Amino acid sequence: MYIIIKAYKALLSLGGFVGFGIGGILFSFIVFPIMKVVIKDKNKLRVKSKLCVHYAFKLLFNYLNFTGVISYKIKGYDNFKDDKSCLIVANHPCLIDVVAIISLYKNATCIVKEALFNNLFCKHVLRGVGYIPNSHSPELMLKQCEESLDRGDVLIIFPEGTRTTDGQPMVLQRGAARIAYLLKVPIRALRIDVKPLFLTKLKPWYDMPIESVDFTIEDRGMISITPILEAGFKAPIAARRLTQKIGESIDFSYKPG
């Protein structure tokens, strides 16, 4: 019975990934090309493209929730549902964290790996929604982040830079703090809890727990950079202080490195 349940959950999970892949193909080769012909204004096209991705990811999470793969909960949604022109930072326990966050925001922008911009099934979607490749020079990437935030987007960044390794303490990079400091924008901290863990660095997609996974996103408040700016800290110290605040917000056991 245990093996049967595991196999059933793996099939449900596979269904989500297959749907995700089919959606990527449809958006890349049908939906977005048609939208590009119909909508001539680039800003309107970008907004509509973001909405398409938002609702597609929302549909995916509704599927996972409906089938019992996950039990999805959001705490404090009213606090952050209308966020604009700020950074969104979160811990990164599993593969679908970014999908979950984008499903909550209609105006999300992400910094993504440059390799995905060369992927046949991803590149049209990523360019259509205005996501930012991480391969650009720091100056160009900062400029693109500023342009996105000026449009009212929220910029999603995982400060760890990659998924958390099971059983290892969280190690944060300072990129998110530097962007917030240099562009003078606040930081929304979200905490993601996944119990039991799945889709981690060390667990393949088919290694599914037999019970429903509790997937919770919790608002941990807005981190203001005003005190940092008023204190007159230089950029390296400001980034370190902000990174510590981020760590304390998204990881209850965080200890500065």
The CA dihedral of 153, 159, 163, 167, to the nearest 10 degrees, is -140
Assign 112 to helix, strand or coil. strand
pLDDT at 4: 60
pLDDT at 3: 64
The pTM of this model reads: 0.90
| Cα(149)–Cα(144) distance, integer angstroms | 9
**pLDDT for residue 213 is more than 90:** no
β-strand partners of 90: 190
Mean pLDDT of 117-134: 78
Domains of the chain, earliest start first: 2-250 (3.40.1130)
Mean pLDDT of 134-157: 90
pLDDT at 77: 95
Q: Specify the amino acid at residue 14.
A: L
- Rounded to the nearest angstrom, the gap between the alpha carbon of residue 160 and the centroid of all alpha carbons in its chain is 12
The winner for highest mean pLDDT among 7-16, 49-58, 168-177 is 49-58
Percentage of residues of the chain with pLDDT beyond 70: 88
38-82 per-position pLDDT tens digit = 888 888 989 999 999 999 999 988 888 888 888 889 999 999 999
